[in-house]
């Protein structure tokens, strides 16, 4: 089946889900989204994005989420999933953002203080990874564990199992690990991904780092890897304005270096204006500006 047919089937399902929630009065349905306008130093639009979705509850133990989004690079797509709750357990079925790595927590532009993606997401996770499948989550005050089975990148009837585990090991320190393996139709391993991260919050300053390794090309026997360290500093106590400064230093396969530095202005909650300067050793330096508005 064509991937374009799948896309529009998902979009149709989301429209029906939204109409159902409105017509049959799901418990406290809510609607919203955001749009992003980005411009680079060559006066070209980049990282533009539009998202609209609905979230609601069918019962006190079953909720749903439907999202339609458009991205400049990939076009229109849709996500729809249903969640079942039981104490600390959450079972999610449908198409969703796959819980993997650190940037999974703030891929949405109105949340992230960065304009560009890290070398981990850009090279290993397709710039933000979502797919159809099942995810079981356990969460309490100290730990969160996700186990998932989703569609594999290799085969129409193939699967990719994996997990993500994160824990607060001290008051302001969190760590996490993730793993996934992509199989083909004969259940033979094609590629895998191993990931680890740490996040330290010093109130006005947050320091984070992530490392990933795995094969980028199926059956190549070459292990690729990427690493970055990033920081976000809240300048509001210094200049009396809701401004954060950011930096990120990344390495891909030990050769290509990426450095970003920038500023983000918090217009209001989840509404950001960002400016970022990207340097890399390929000589393709750029300046990015981005406006992210939620509604």
CATH number of the structural domain spanning residue 179 = 2.40.160.10
- Average pLDDT rounded to a whole number, residues 279-292: 81
Instruction: Name the pLDDT band for 220 (thresholds 50, 70, 90).
Output: low
Look at residue 46 in the predicted model and tell me its pLDDT: 65
Structurally, the chain folds into a number of domains equal to 1
Rounded to a whole number, what is the distance in angstroms from the first to the last CA of the chain? 35
- Average pLDDT rounded to a whole number, residues 93-112: 87
Assess contact for 182 and 152: CB atoms under 8 A. Answer: yes
More confident residue, 144 or 87: 144
Q: What is the pLDDT of residues 125-172, one digit of tens each?
A: 877 788 889 999 999 988 999 999 999 888 778 899 999 999 999 889
Name the residue range of residue 218's domain.
Answer: 3-294
Look at residue 26 in the predicted model and tell me its pLDDT: 54
Q: What's the DSSP call for residue 3?
A: H
Long-range contacts of 37-41 (CB under 8 A, 24+ apart): 37/290, 37/291, 38/115, 38/288, 38/289, 38/290, 38/291, 39/288, 39/289, 39/290, 40/286, 40/287, 40/288, 40/289, 41/286, 41/287, 41/288
Q: Is the pLDDT of residue 2 over 50?
A: no
Highest mean pLDDT among 112-116, 160-164, 219-223: 160-164
Alpha-carbon distance 285 to 18, whole Å?
A: 43
- Average pLDDT rounded to a whole number, residues 49-56: 81
Look at residue 162 in the predicted model and tell me its pLDDT: 96
């Amino acid at each position: 089946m064509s991937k374009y047919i799948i896309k529009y089937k998902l979009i149709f399902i989301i429209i029906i889900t939204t109409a159902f929630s409105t017509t049959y009065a799901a418990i406290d349905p809510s609607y919203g989204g955001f749009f992003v306008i980005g411009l680079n130093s060559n006066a070209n639009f980049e990282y533009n994005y539009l998202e609209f979705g609905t979230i609601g509850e069918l019962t006190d133990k079953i909720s749903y989420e439907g999202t339609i989004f458009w991205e400049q690079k990939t076009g229109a797509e849709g996500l729809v999933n249903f969640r079942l709750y039981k104490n600390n357990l959450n079972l999610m079925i449908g198409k969703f953002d796959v819980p993997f790595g650190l940037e999974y927590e703030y891929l949405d532009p109105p949340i992230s203080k960065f304009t560009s993606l890290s070398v981990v997401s850009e090279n290993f996770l397709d710039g933000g990874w979502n797919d159809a499948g099942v995810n079981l989550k356990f969460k309490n005050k100290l730990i969160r564990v996700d186990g998932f089975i989703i569609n594999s990148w290799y085969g129409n009837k193939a699967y990719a199992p994996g997990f993500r585990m994160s824990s607060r090991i001290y008051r302001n320190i969190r760590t996490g690990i993730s793993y996934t393996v992509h199989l083909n139709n004969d259940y033979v391993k094609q590629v895998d991904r191993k990931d680890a991260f740490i996040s330290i919050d010093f109130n006005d300053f947050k320091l984070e780092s992530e490392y990933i390794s795995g094969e980028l090309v199926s059956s190549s026997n070459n292990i690729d890897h990427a690493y970055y360290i990033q920081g976000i500093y809240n300048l509001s106590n210094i200049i009396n304005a809701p401004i954060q400064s950011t930096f990120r230093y990344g390495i891909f396969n030990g050769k290509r270096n990426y450095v970003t530095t920038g500023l983000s202005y918090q217009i209001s909650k989840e509404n950001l204006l960002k400016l970022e300067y990207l340097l890399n050793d390929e000589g393709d330096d750029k300046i990015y500006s981005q406006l992210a508005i939620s509604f």
